[in-house]
Amino acid sequence: MTMAATLLAAEGENPLIPHAYELVVGSFAFLVVFLVVGKILTPRIQKTLAERTEAIEGGIKKAEDAQAEAQRTLEQYRAQLAEARQEAARLREEAREQGAQIKAELREEAQAEARRIIEAAHAQIEADRQQALNQLRGEIGRLATELASRIVGESLEDEVRQRRIVDRFLEELEARPEAVR
Amino acid sequence: MTLPLMLVAEDFTAPGPSIFDFPPLWDGAPSWLTKPVLMAIFGAIVVCALAWSAFANPKLVPRGMQNIGEMGYQFVRDQVARPFLGKDAERWMPLLLSLFFLILLWNLFGVVPLIQIPVASHIAFPAVLAALIYIIKIYLGIKHQGFVGYFKNMMFPAGLPKPIYVLLAPIEFLSNLIIAPFTHAVRLFANMFAGHLILAFFSAVGFWFLFEKLTPLGSGLGVLGVIMTIAMTGFEMFIEFLQAFLFTMLAAMYIGGSLHPDH
């Protein structure tokens, strides 16, 4: 024993020497705490903390997934929209082309029709004219023949008048000598 | 000390180690039923009660006591268990958390009015806990490294020039198997013992010079004693927390060292 220890011993008990009963009580106290706090309660809080971590991570994951999903949908919609726009533009272009084509075809057709009508009209006119001409020619022949027969018929009855006609004709001829020459 | 002060302080006796001696609680009580024993049991009950109110029915969203309990739990887990035990931290949390909570409360009893005795200032209490850790340390070391391997890793760490081992092997043996458990217990005990003695001294100074022997000269000394008592109480609370932390940290370090000798 050092001097300090003997001094301490003189004043009271040596604080470095444990009391046996305190060893027992200390062990017992710790055992109780270990059973209650360590064995019963710590697993509960560990479980809760793990669940909380999971819940937070799960929440974050869920939010990320939702965001990714939304992003994907948006992309999809955008792609669809662009496609639709393109499609619309293509259709418009096609319609315009078709329209133009139809217009051209119609015009062509109309012109052809017009030409056809005009030709038909021309042919009709020509035919009518021919017919009229033929009719006229026949009429003129008949009238001429009739006139000639009348003239011949009357010539015997009206010799004097005929003579007069002939005479007048001859006088007219004489009045315009230059026309004869 | 100047002469007048010596005259004033003539009858004053500073409190000594005898303040740690307690008689049985009442006349005729069993001799083991002293104040420290009662407080040790009371501390264990309070720790259980507080932990029960915090962790008995833990919620995902903590409220009230659970918040405080979780602060303690996370402190032990993040500052003590994880740095020394890594992935084994969760497995050893029951032991470390019980140790930390019990020692912290036992220590804080030193500044609780009327109780005013840090339980660990009686060496039996830290000794029991240190012995428990010592047994766990050796058991784990032999279990995880083998009997020969445990001593080989302890006394002959690889990568040193051969003659060094002549010096190193006995030193390591002594420090790991004989000195470590002793210092583990004594560090906590001595801090509590000395802290309590300091508090007792300053409060005795204040009481003596302001109430027992109030003199114009001594009153200044009494006021100083009171001020120092208040200041040292604050400091003691810090030390009490720090020692609980240190004891638990060393326990984690010993366990971690036995599980993974290469660290």
What ipTM goes with this model? 0.89
Give the residue-averaged pLDDT of B249-253. Answer: 96
Percentage of chain B modeled with pLDDT above 70: 95
Residues from chain A contacting residue B40 (CB–CB below 8 Å) = 22, 25-26, 29
Mutation target vs A (from B77, B125, B132, B193; most A CBs, 10 A cutoff)? B125
Let me know: does B204 contact B14? Beta carbons within 8 Å.
Answer: yes
Mark A144-180 as b/e (b = at least 16 C-beta within 10 Å).
Answer: eeeeeeeeeeeeeeeeeeeeeeeeeeeeeeeeeeeee
Within-domain flag for B7:
no
Within-domain flag for B11:
no
Percentage of chain B modeled with pLDDT above 90: 65
Residue that has been written with the tokens 């003590």 in this structure: B80
Within-domain flag for B139:
yes
Which structure tokens are listed for A144? 């001429």
Q: Across the interface, do A48 and B59 touch by the CB < 8 Å criterion?
A: yes
Within-domain flag for B1:
no
Q: Across the interface, do B102 and A30 touch by the CB < 8 Å criterion?
A: yes
The pLDDT tens digits of the residues spanning A97-108 come to 999 999 999 999
Interchain CB contact of B207 with A (< 8 Å): no
Interchain CB contact of A32 with B (< 8 Å): yes
- For A29, the closest of B70, B94, B102 (CB atoms) is B102
- Distance between CA atoms of residues B122 and B26, nearest Å: 20
Residues 57-86 of B with CB under 8 A from A: 57-60, 69-70, 73
- Distance between CA atoms of residues B128 and A156, nearest Å: 186
CA-CA-CA-CA dihedral for B145, B148, B153, B155, to nearest 10: 150
Question: Which among B160, B46, B159 is positioned nearest to B103, based on CA atoms?
Answer: B46
C-alpha A111: how far from chain center: 32
Let me know: does B221 contact B5? Beta carbons within 8 Å.
Answer: yes
Within-domain flag for B18:
no
Residue that has been written with the tokens 């919620």 in this structure: B59
- For A39, the closest of B17, B94, B121 (CB atoms) is B94
Interchain CB contact of B201 with A (< 8 Å): no
Residue B10 neighbours by CB distance under 10 Å: 8
Mutation target vs B (from A16, A24, A42, A44; most B CBs, 10 A cutoff)? A42
- Distance between CA atoms of residues B212 and A31, nearest Å: 44
Within-domain flag for B9:
no
Q: Across the interface, do A37 and B51 touch by the CB < 8 Å criterion?
A: yes
Q: What is the pLDDT of residue B1?
A: 47
Interchain CB contact of B193 with A (< 8 Å): yes
Let me know: does B120 contact B189? Beta carbons within 8 Å.
Answer: yes
Which residues form the domain of B233? 23-259
Residue type, B233: T
Interchain CB contact of B94 with A (< 8 Å): yes
Long-range pairs for A54-63: beta carbons < 8 A, 24 or more residues apart: A55/B60
Let me know: does B206 contact B229? Beta carbons within 8 Å.
Answer: yes
Give the residue-averaged pLDDT of B183-209. Answer: 93
User: pTM value?
Assistant: 0.72
Within-domain flag for B247:
yes
Q: Within chain A, which residues score under 70 in pLDDT? A: 1-12, 148, 151-158, 177-181
Q: Across the interface, do A30 and B44 touch by the CB < 8 Å criterion?
A: yes
Residue B148 neighbours by CB distance under 10 Å: 9
Q: What is the pLDDT of residue A26?
A: 94
Q: What is the pLDDT of residue A153?
A: 65
Within-domain flag for B33:
yes
Give the residue-averaged pLDDT of B67-84. Answer: 94
Residues from chain A contacting residue B94 (CB–CB below 8 Å) = 34, 37-39, 42-43
Measured between alpha carbons, how far is residue B97 from residues A37, B12, B26, B131, B221 in Å? 8, 44, 34, 17, 43
Question: Which among B70, B105, B74 is positioned nearest to B89, based on CA atoms?
Answer: B74
Number of domains, chain B = 1
Helix (H) or strand (E) holding A51: helix A42-155
Q: What is the pLDDT of residue A154?
A: 63
